[in-house]
Amino acid sequence: MSKIKILPEILSNKIAAGEVVERPASVVKELVENSLDANSTRIIIEVEKGGRSLIRISDNGIGMSHDDALLAIERYATSKIYTDSDLFSINTLGFRGEALPSIASVSCFVIETNDGNDEAGTRIDIKGGIIKKVSEIGAPRGTLIIVQHLFFNTPVRRKFLKTINTEMGHIADTVANIALGWPDVRFSLLHNGKKVKDWVAASDPGDRVADVLGKDIRNNLHRIVPHRTGGVSLSGWVASPQVTRSTSRGIYICVNGRCVRDRTVQHALFEGFAGRLMKGQFPMAVLFINVPADEVDVNVHPRKNEIRFLEGNKIHGVVAEAVSGALNLADRPVSPCFQEQDSEQHTAGKQDQEPGQPCVSESAPHFSASGKGHALPSEKESSQSVKNGIFQENRPSPAEQTTLWKKKQFGDLRVIGQFSGTYILCESEKELVLIDQHAAHERILFEQLKNRGSKGTSQRLLIPETIDVSYSEANLLEKLIPHFQETGLEIEPFGGNTFVVKSVPAILGHREIRPLIIEIAEKMAETGFNSGLEDAMDACLSLMACHGAIRANQQLSDEQIKQLLNQLEECENPFHCPHGRPLQIRWSLQSLEKSFKRIV
Ligand code: ADP
Ligand code: MG
């Protein structure tokens, strides 16, 4: 007897579900895509408990006849492709014919649909892939799909689900992503009966972009002049290089209406921004790319969020050129802005006002890897040494630290001046000392915040500032609110994903607060509380310190430098910025003399 057997259909559907349905957000993605393929203009997504207990999606699309509804839940049943060649010119979001049977195999599933031709609509009840009931119902034209108790029969997959808020965050991001590419469709998202977000139909795609990216950056968006080259067309928006993110979350790539991740396009975007971003920063952009259907392979990934371009180089060139063109145009004194090409809302060249300077200047002194030329000696008494151009820490033992401390490392330094507006040059009796002013001030502010030094020194904003973040960011931010309070940052939920900042720590009184809150929210979304609340708060404090600190290229008076050195002296760790990078370099007289070959 043969050992090999064809799997029963229910089992093969469950296996397919493993690929297609990773989490509740994947169900939402597949069902919303189906609604869009059915020409819907109104899609309502209702979710309970982050999609664990209920996902209910209704649309006003073309619906299905009784027979089609029964076919739709069969594996490999699709109305979107019929022949081999169709697979290579796909104009719809779906085509694999897998989603409905996969989802139905791992949930309690109901489909209600009416194509407007029959008098009655059709309802099919399925549990774990088994049809329980087929009935006639009265229903308007369109389709309603209800998915309950997702993964009830795949307990391991259910265990992998994250918290309700995390799953809901993924759902909200998914809908926002899709909504970007379909501005004329109205999407409503509800969670546990409450409205999360209503993306109203927009006649100008720019309105939808502003709606998804947040109203805050509206005036910092530059429209890409639509490009059309060899069948490829590109349009979209890029944000000013001053408005950046610390992750790629602000990059949206829509290819033929499908939101995808794509390395080629992302690389080209960075190339378009070349020379305008600091290391580690990500631009914000929304790119709509249309290519002939036979020049893109969408059948690369079961969840259909990756694609392959037939001519990647061509796309790369178009994107890079269009992005740099939009930014160059924006650099002109009267720059094109979000709504009107010739509006004056955006003024270029206010870079020095913006936060996001690197926490430690990149322009560290040059060290030759070979130890020759300008190489600095690695002296034992130094707290740093340099090997292959990389700082090595010679951490003193705790006993030594006490001795060092008593020696007065900073308070007694004599200030020589500032180098390049960025480094403080000082001397002690036997050392030349270079201090990174931004990193040093960051350290001081970080410790002050950490020791609640600014408690009571918060500054009330004359006009409270409202700030929008994404759904998942909002949840994390909310958890931190009581802890922010202790630092002097008074921030409150303001409904939906909006927060209102009422007071800021005094050290931030002279800075814009919005970019800091957005960076904190992003940082939290990126790292979460994986390594505990204290680490998460430390990350927030170090961002606050970074935003509040004096910048590179900022002239300081001798008095200000002296004050900085005295404050550094008070620090628990006066040698590193909060990110762990060195904030000072010391050369002993002896080592300098050796370098100048005065002694051997
Ligand atoms: P695919 O989208 O890849 O074709 P699905 O399993 O997602 O596969 O859907 C199967 C078929 O069911 C679709 O091809 C379509 O004909 C029909 N269908 C699914 N959802 C809807 C909907 N909301 N409105 C109308 N038809 C739908
Ligand atoms: Mg589908």
The per-residue pLDDT for 335 is 40
Encode pLDDT of 98-151 as tens digits.
899 999 999 999 999 999 997 799 999 999 999 999 999 999 999 999 999 999
What six digits make up the tokens of 26? 């994947």
How far is ligand 1, taken at its centre, from the CA of residue 100, in Å?
7
How far is ligand 2, taken at its centre, from the CA of residue 71, in Å?
13
If pLDDT is split at 50, 70 and 90, which confidence band does 365 have? very low
Mean pLDDT score of the chain? 83
What six digits make up the tokens of 75? 């594996």
Q: Is residue 571 over pLDDT 60? A: yes
Q: Is the CB of 59 under 6 A from ligand 1?
A: yes
The per-residue pLDDT for 271 is 93
Q: Is residue 324 over pLDDT 90? A: yes
If pLDDT is split at 50, 70 and 90, which confidence band does 403 have? very low
- Residue at 295: amino acid letter: E
Q: Angle between the 532-548 and 471-487 helix axes, to the nearest 10 degrees?
A: 80
Among 237, 233, 195, 191, which Cα is nearest to 213's?
Answer: 237
Q: Is residue 173 over pLDDT 60? A: yes
Closest residue by Cα to atom 20, ligand 1, is: 34
Mean per-residue pLDDT, 588-594: 90
Q: Is the CB of 453 under 6 A from ligand 1?
A: no
Among 241, 247, 248, 246, which Cα is nearest to 221's?
Answer: 241
Question: Which residues are CB-contacts of 80 (< 8 A; sequence separation ≥ 6)?
Answer: 37, 86, 90, 92, 94, 95, 97
The percent of residues in the chain predicted with pLDDT above 90, rounded, is: 48
Give the single-character DSSP code of 563: H
**CA 245 centroid distance within chain:** 6
- Residue at 293: amino acid letter: A
If pLDDT is split at 50, 70 and 90, which confidence band does 456 have? low
The per-residue pLDDT for 536 is 87
Mean per-residue pLDDT, 270-281: 85
If pLDDT is split at 50, 70 and 90, which confidence band does 367 have? very low
Among 335, 331, 320, which Cα is nearest to 285's?
Answer: 320
How far is ligand 1, taken at its centre, from the CA of residue 144, in Å?
12
Other CB atoms within a 10 A radius of the CB of residue 145 amount to 22
Q: Is residue 153 over pLDDT 90? A: yes
Other CB atoms within a 10 A radius of the CB of residue 231 amount to 12
What six digits make up the tokens of 496? 């939906």
Q: Are 96 and 8 in contact (CB under 8 A)?
A: no
If pLDDT is split at 50, 70 and 90, which confidence band does 513 have? very high
Mean per-residue pLDDT, 299-328: 90
pTM for the model: 0.70
Q: Is the CB of 302 under 6 A from ligand 1?
A: no
Q: Is residue 77 over pLDDT 90? A: no
- Say how far apart CA 251 and CA 88 lie, in whole Å: 27
If pLDDT is split at 50, 70 and 90, which confidence band does 387 have? very low
- Say how far apart CA 399 and CA 435 lie, in whole Å: 24
If pLDDT is split at 50, 70 and 90, which confidence band does 323 have? very high
If pLDDT is split at 50, 70 and 90, which confidence band does 347 have? very low
What six digits make up the tokens of 584? 């000072």
Q: CA angle 149-151-156, nearest 5°?
A: 140
Q: Is residue 406 over pLDDT 50? A: no
User: Which atom of ligand 1 is the closest one to the Cα of 81?
Assistant: 4
User: Which atom of ligand 1 is the closest one to the Cα of 102?
Assistant: 6
Q: Is residue 374 over pLDDT 70? A: no
- Say how far apart CA 469 and CA 477 lie, in whole Å: 9
Give the single-character DSSP code of 265: H
The per-residue pLDDT for 333 is 53
The per-residue pLDDT for 408 is 65
Mean per-residue pLDDT, 224-235: 90
Encode pLDDT of 481-510 as tens digits.
988 988 889 999 988 889 999 999 988 888
**CA 132 centroid distance within chain:** 43
**CA 284 centroid distance within chain:** 9
Q: Is residue 373 over pLDDT 80? A: no
